[in-house]
Chains A and B, each alone.
Chain A
Amino acid sequence: MTHSTYESTVLMSLSVQTNTAAGLGPKSPGAGPGAGGAPLSPMQASKASSETQVSSEADEKIQRGKEDRAGVQKKTFTKWINSYLEKIGLKVDELNNDLRDGIKLLKLLEILSGDKQAKPDRGSARLVKVNNINKALAYLK
């Protein structure tokens, strides 16, 4: 019972990674250099999960606890962000994907601080996105 929960967590995080890679542009799975932490292939994934089975029960329990907690945190934080973004008709569905261009992040900071933030740049170039994230980080300093 608990074990299948763990496996579904692994599957979930896998599908997240796949989405992330797909969201990066042209549909050429795994080919894009932008993929960064290259998504696991199904082969690697099953290897990873069988390795986890081998590890001691205690390790597994700790690992599962960490993954659960990250999953719960992700849910809570997404709802928290949306409780603010909905005021201006925006919404975040998947935390990692939806914040990566920095636009919604800057909007969130604008609502929270009540200050007009540096206007986010629009565009799909990596540099534009990095620039938006930098503006957000600069504000948090």
Chain B
Amino acid sequence: MLTLGLIWTIILRFQIQDISVDHMSAKDGLLLWCKKKTKGYANVHVDNFHKSFNNGLAFAALIHAHRPDLIDFNSLDPENKLDNLKLAFDVAEKLGIASLLDPIDVAVEKPDERSVMTYVAALYHYFATMKQGDVAGQRLASIVSELDEVL
């Protein structure tokens, strides 16, 4: 469909082309950002913008990596695709990131790549522009609250 092609051109131009991560640009840069941020998260292996995202854990990990206070990542079960996706999208929406995807469309064998990319780019633009201080501050706050529980 012609309209979809036109809108995709606009999304690429304004949301994806400007991404730059370690000398990688656009789509490759966005993928690298996902890999780096989700490194070490159990059951998360981001190799693409479709199958790697269908159980919701990759979205949850991307959010958790920046705001560990918002998601209890270890409590998530890779089998509960719909629940994981809904949780991630709801949490992100509270941060002001428009909920562009429907869990039911993503929890399939191979979700639509362009849709996933559009949403991941929105996460990138939100978190990557978050000041480093904010991220550090959030991490510290979460450590302090954990300490409170222990003590």
A interface residues with partner B (beta carbon < 8 Å): 69-70, 72-77, 79-83, 95-96, 99, 108-109, 112-113, 140
Contact = CB atoms under 8 A, between A and B. Distances in A.
B98 A83 contact: yes
B49 to A, nearest CB: 12
14 contacts: A72-B105, A72-B111, A73-B115, A74-B1, A74-B4, A75-B115, A76-B118, A83-B100, A95-B4, A109-B10, A112-B14, A113-B14, A140-B9, A140-B13
A72 B3 CA distance: 14
B100 A108 contact: no
A95 B2 CA distance: 11
A109 B99 CA distance: 21
Interface of A is mostly: helix
Interface residues of B, number: 23
Interface of B: 1, 3-4, 7-11, 13-14, 98-102, 105, 111-112, 114-115, 118-119, 122
